[in-house]
Structure 1
Amino acid sequence: MLTDYHNHLERGTLTLDYLKQFTDEAEKKKIEHFGISEHAYHFYQTKNILSNPWVDERRFYDMKDYVELFKQAWNQQINVKMSIEMDYTPGKHKEMKEFIDSYDFDYVIGSIHWVDDFGIDLAEFRKEWDRRDLFVTYEKYYDQVVTLAQSNLFDIVGHLDLVKIFNYIPKDEEFLLQQFDRATTALANSKTCVEISTAGLRKPIGKLYPDPRLLQMCFDKGIPIVLSSDAHVPGDVGADYNQAIELARSVGYDTLMTFEKGERKEVPIG
């Protein structure tokens, strides 16, 4: 069994024709468990959760249209799961829960893209990495991983070590492993799974998420995994899965978690 739970339609349209390009690619690559997880910030219904100038310029969807798209797909027997990728926002647990509970998602991804007002993975903010204290940014990022896990609002945490995207990584290994350890301890005490994401191979870092040492801690603490491509175009669905599977097996994983309407089931990898 293979999963690809992290995919986006934002570069195209919320139409059945465009959605089908993704599901056709998943079928071609023998991915049985496939889902779309559009960024929650695109929807008018999340304005009370995350709002800043960068995000507000990109808020152009209505959840009504999103839900309707999936209903159309299911009516045509298209095998696709409905999800959302929500920016985990400290201090907004109540609002996030209300939004998540308002829709019949198969699963929900929580990700961290913002450290205070710093969009850590955005090209527009890249120069900020040289202006800010690297250790403070990392500590604040992993603070959010901990509280994301503790919130227990999410089924999957997206690209767990996204903070490395532009190759700004503390040289102090003890510090880095300390962040990994506290993140995985919190995740192990939650319902949250971790994705192995091939998206990092297409980013400046040129590596999978997460770091093998971080994934090893996940395995050692019994945290389940899924596979994801974070495809923003149909051709990237299931991209480089040979590397993701190899990484999973190298640390000891032989199963993946699957989701349907909030229910989870463990299946063998492959």
Structure 2
Amino acid sequence: MLTDYHNHLERGTLTLEYLKRFTDEARRKNIDHFGISEHAYHFYQTADILSNPWVEERRFYDMKDYTALFQKAWSEGIDVKMSIEMDYTPGKHREMEQFIKSYDFDYVIGSIHWVEDFGIDLKEYIHEWDKRDLHDTYTKYYDQVVTLAESNLFDIIGHLDLVKIFNYIPEDEEFLMQQFERAAEALSRSKTCVEISTAGLRKPVNKLYPDERLLKLCFDKGVPIVLSSDAHQPQDVGADYDQAVALAKKTGYETIMTFSKGERTPVPIG
């Protein structure tokens, strides 16, 4: 079986017509388990979790409209999972937990896009990479991976090594492996699955998330996986899945996790 649990409607509309363009593409690509996980920062209900000028310009959804869209889809027999991608925000565990428990999500993705005030994956902030100490940014990023896992709030961690997106990667392999090791160890003690995401192939780094060495550590420590495309437009659903499946099998994985209302079931890959 195949999953694609990380997808966004934000470039279109919260309408059944637009949603069906995604689910139709998933069906065309033989994806058995498909979900939408809109960015939580778009919703007014998350204003107490993450707030900065960049985010506030993009907060335009209400959760009642989001949940109503899924209810309408389910009433018409459309098989789509309801999720959210939440920016893991240090110091906001109580607020994140309260938001997550307020809705009947099939699963919840936690991702790290901010290191303090630095939007690491945003083109608007790309100039900051040359101003900051690379090892410091990586250390702080993986500090958040560890505490995200320790929070046990999330079913999936999104694009685990997103920090490499613009190809700013430490040359010190020992340092990098230390970060990988502590991330994998923390994840192994949590309920959090890792996604193999093909989105990196559409970014400047032109690589899958996560790095093969990091994924192998996750496999060795028993961390489950899902497959995701992080599609922001319908045609990217299930993109480059041959590479994602190949990486999963190369690192030893034979199963992926599926979700339904928080319940998880491992199934064979492919």
Q: Tell me if TM exceeds 0.5.
A: yes
Runs of 4+ with >6 A deviation: none
Which deviations, in whole Å up to 9, do the C-alpha atoms of 1:65-100 show, x marking residues without a partner? Answer: 000000000000001000000000000000000000
Structure 2 residue aligned with 1:116 = 116
CA displacement at 1:3 relative to structure 2? 0.1
Paired AA for residue 257 in structure 2:
M
2:36 maps to 1:42? no
2:78 maps to 1:78? yes
Structure 2 residue aligned with 1:258 = 258
CA displacement at 1:16 relative to structure 2? 0.1
How far, CA to CA, are the matches of 1:212 and 1:75 in structure 2? 41
Structure 2 residue aligned with 1:192 = 192
Give 1:37-186 correspondences, 5 Å limit. 37-186=37-186
Q: Percent identity?
A: 79
How far, CA to CA, are the matches of 2:76 and 2:217 in structure 1? 42
How far, CA to CA, are the matches of 1:251 and 1:58 in structure 2? 38
How far, CA to CA, are the matches of 1:131 and 1:222 in structure 2? 37
Which deviations, in whole Å up to 9, do the C-alpha atoms of 1:40-70 show, x marking residues without a partner? Answer: 0000000000000000000000000000000
Structure 2 residue aligned with 1:32 = 32
How far, CA to CA, are the matches of 1:148 and 1:184 in structure 2? 12
Which deviations, in whole Å up to 9, do the C-alpha atoms of 1:182-210 show, x marking residues without a partner? Answer: 01100000000000000000000000000
2:204 maps to 1:204? yes
How far, CA to CA, are the matches of 2:251 and 2:45 in structure 1? 40
Structure 2 residue aligned with 1:234 = 234
How far, CA to CA, are the matches of 2:239 and 2:173 in structure 1? 30
How far, CA to CA, are the matches of 2:19 and 2:122 in structure 1? 25
Q: Secondary structure at the match of 1:264?
A: strand
CA displacement at 1:260 relative to structure 2? 0.1
Paired AA for residue 79 in structure 1:
D
RMSD of aligned alpha carbons: 0.2
- Taking structure 1 as the reference length, the TM-score comes to 1.00
2:23 maps to 1:23? yes
- Taking structure 2 as the reference length, the TM-score comes to 1.00
CA displacement at 1:224 relative to structure 2? 0.2
Structure 2 residue aligned with 1:243 = 243
Aligned length: 270
How far, CA to CA, are the matches of 1:251 and 1:173 in structure 2? 19
Paired AA for residue 140 in structure 1:
K
How far, CA to CA, are the matches of 2:157 and 2:233 in structure 1? 21
Q: Secondary structure at the match of 1:72?
A: helix
How far, CA to CA, are the matches of 1:63 and 1:251 in structure 2? 38
Q: Secondary structure at the match of 1:84?
A: strand
How far, CA to CA, are the matches of 1:134 and 1:218 in structure 2? 24
Gaps of 5+ in 1: none
Q: Secondary structure at the match of 1:219?
A: helix
